[in-house]
């Protein structure tokens, strides 16, 4: 087992302890004949079914029976997420109730009713996150200030998509919906800032079809992310270029309008150390405004120091699971990334971090909507 699988196994075992106690409480309330045996059996079944999903994660590959994804995988992920969310309240509740018991002279007991109602509550929440929130994407038009933007490019419409993660849990049909939604807003260009797939190479053709579905005036531009290297990226790059997309790897292109120039550059994946900002900016024309595509937003400070006017990034998913309405401030990505969602400024340089469209890990979103961003460039 890899370290990742060991960690998942330990976490799964820990989360199923409160679940077993919750099922024991449910069995007593429903008068099961063998509530303890049934509770243990349900916990073992939940662990076994989830463990059976892990080998399919890397490399991601199609299933012979698509219905198995919806009838087996999806319920397993909902259950696992509900168990995960139940763990912390259960531990806190157990310690608090045990303290009260000791203080009042009573023998400590396990609050199995708390475990049951907490699990049922999060089961509903996670069902929404898996079945509804990750499908229900938003399209937002956002004015983005760009220092030094030539009047010829005022109002340039950039469709920004990121972190598609096309694969078993995020099918091609969803990607085509995103592409159609972006195309309906009549963008001048479309950019995709990495993580087009989840892992492997089996879904490269699906990704190519999604990218080909983007209709723009001046082209589609793609940079790669870390998940695109969880397998051989060469077939993906070839397919994208065959469909007319421009894949930029530490390089740039010049967009021209009415004699004015806009330099669109991209760096390769930072996680696998393929990024080279010097190479990406080497051919920029003198005085041209620079737009930089990067999967990881952590390169923003360096880009700002190099005079990049606008940086477009993804990678963080906005946390993917965050507190609704407060995801900018209460989110896992806020703890691990300084730039994790939305617009940021350093001096005269602007950064926009997309929360992305697909998912990694558990196929769930909560509090962070998938986003197709239509960025309207405005002179700062």
DSSP string across 95-122: HHHHHHHHHTTPPP---HHHHHHHHHHH
Q: Is the peptide bond before 231 cis (omega within 30 degrees of 0)?
A: no
Q: What is residue 189's predicted lDDT score, i.e. its pLDDT?
A: 98
User: CA–CA distance from 165 to each of 90, 102, 112, 226, 306 (Å)?
Assistant: 33, 50, 39, 11, 31
Q: How many CB atoms lie within 10 A of CB 353?
A: 28
**pLDDT (tens digit per residue) in 13-51:** 999 999 999 999 999 999 999 999 999 999 999 999 888
Percent pLDDT > 90 in the chain is 82
Lowest mean pLDDT among 148-157, 208-217, 279-288, 327-336: 327-336
Q: Which residues pair with 14 in a beta bridge?
A: none
Q: What is residue 175's predicted lDDT score, i.e. its pLDDT?
A: 98
Q: What is residue 8's predicted lDDT score, i.e. its pLDDT?
A: 85
- 157 pLDDT higher than 80: yes
What is the 8-class DSSP label of residue 321?
A: B
Q: What is residue 59's predicted lDDT score, i.e. its pLDDT?
A: 87
Percent pLDDT > 70 in the chain is 99
Q: How far apart are CA 60 and CA 281, in angstroms?
A: 34
CB 348 within 8 A of CB 308: no
pLDDT band at 331 (very low <50, low <70, confident <90, very high): confident
pLDDT band at 192 (very low <50, low <70, confident <90, very high): very high
Mean predicted confidence (pLDDT) in 155-180 = 97
The packing angle between helices 74-103 and 35-53, to 10°, is: 130
CB 202 within 8 A of CB 60: yes
- 1 pLDDT higher than 70: no
Q: Yes or no: is domain 139-379 CATH 3.60.21.10?
A: yes
- 256 pLDDT higher than 90: yes
CB 303 within 8 A of CB 344: no
Q: Which of 363, 374, 369, 376 is nearest to 170 (CA)?
A: 363
Q: Which of 195, 197, 189, 255 is nearest to 221 (CA)?
A: 189
Query: Which positions ≥6 away from 91 have C-beta within 8 Å?
Result: 18
Q: What is residue 273's predicted lDDT score, i.e. its pLDDT?
A: 92
Q: Return the percent helix, strand and coil in the chain, to nearest 5.
A: 45, 20, 35
Residue with the larger pLDDT of the pair 87 and 333: 87
Q: What is residue 336's predicted lDDT score, i.e. its pLDDT?
A: 81
Mean predicted confidence (pLDDT) in 335-346 = 91
CB 247 within 8 A of CB 272: no
Mean predicted confidence (pLDDT) in 285-305 = 95
Query: Which positions ≥6 away from 45 have C-beta within 8 Å?
Result: none
Q: Per-domain residue ranges for the chain?
A: 3-133, 139-379
Q: What is residue 39's predicted lDDT score, i.e. its pLDDT?
A: 96
Q: What are phi and psi of 363, to 5 degrees?
A: -75, 70
User: CA–CA distance from 284 to each of 198, 252, 276, 295 (Å)?
Assistant: 32, 7, 14, 20
Q: Which of 240, 174, 239, 164 is nearest to 199 (CA)?
A: 164
- 118 pLDDT higher than 90: yes
Q: What is residue 6's predicted lDDT score, i.e. its pLDDT?
A: 83
Q: What is residue 49's predicted lDDT score, i.e. its pLDDT?
A: 86
Q: What mean pLDDT value characterizes the chain?
A: 94
Q: How many CB atoms lie within 10 A of CB 189?
A: 22
Q: What is residue 184's predicted lDDT score, i.e. its pLDDT?
A: 97
Angle at 286 between CA 280 and CA 288, to 5 degrees: 75
pLDDT band at 61 (very low <50, low <70, confident <90, very high): confident
DSSP string for 259-298: TEEEEEEE---TTTT---HHHHHTTPPTT-EEEEE-SSGG
């Amino acid at each position: 087992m890899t370290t990742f699988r060991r960690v998942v196994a330990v976490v799964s075992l820990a989360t199923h302890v409160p679940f077993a106690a919750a099922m024991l409480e449910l069995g007593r309330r429903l008068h099961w004949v063998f509530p303890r045996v049934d509770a243990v059996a349900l916990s073992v079944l939940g662990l076994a079914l989830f463990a059976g999903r892990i080998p399919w994660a890397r490399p991601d590959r199609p299933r012979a029976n698509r219905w198995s994804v919806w009838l087996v995988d999806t319920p397993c992920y909902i259950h696992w997420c509900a168990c995960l969310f139940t763990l912390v309240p259960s531990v806190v509740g157990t310690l608090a109730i045990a303290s009260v018991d000791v203080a009042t002279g009573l023998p400590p007991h396990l609050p199995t009713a708390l475990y049951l109602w907490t699990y049922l509550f999060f089961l509903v929440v996670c069902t929404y996150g898996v079945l509804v929130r990750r499908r229900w994407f938003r399209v937002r038009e956002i004015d983005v200030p760009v220092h030094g933007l030539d009047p010829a490019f005022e109002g340039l419409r950039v469709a920004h998509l990121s972190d598609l993660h096309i694969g078993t849990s995020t099918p091609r049909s969803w990607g085509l919906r995103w592409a159609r939604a972006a195309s309906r807003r009549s963008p001048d260009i479309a950019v995709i800032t990495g993580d087009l797939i989840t892992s492997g190479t089996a879904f490269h053709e699906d990704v190519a079809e999604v990218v080909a579905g983007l209709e723009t005036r001046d082209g589609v531009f793609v940079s790669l992310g870390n998940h695109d290297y969880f397998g051989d990226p060469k077939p993906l790059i070839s397919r994208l270029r065959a469909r007319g997309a421009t894949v930029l790897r530490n390089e740039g292109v010049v967009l021209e309008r009415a004699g004015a120039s806009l330099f669109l550059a991209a760096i390769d994946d930072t996680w696998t150390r393929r990024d080279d900002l010097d190479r990406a900016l080497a051919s920029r024309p003198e005085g041209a405004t620079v737009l930089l595509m990067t999967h990881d937003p952590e390169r923003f400070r360096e880009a700002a120091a190099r005079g990049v006017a606008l940086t477009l990034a993804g990678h963080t998913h906005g946390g993917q699971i965050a507190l609704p309405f407060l995801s900018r401030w209460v989110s896992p990505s806020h703890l691990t990334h300084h730039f994790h969602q939305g617009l940021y400024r350093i001096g005269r340089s602007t950064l926009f971090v997309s929360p992305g469209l697909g998912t990694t890990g558990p196929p769930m979103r909560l509090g962070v909507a998938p986003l197709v961003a239509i960025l309207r460039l405005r002179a700062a």
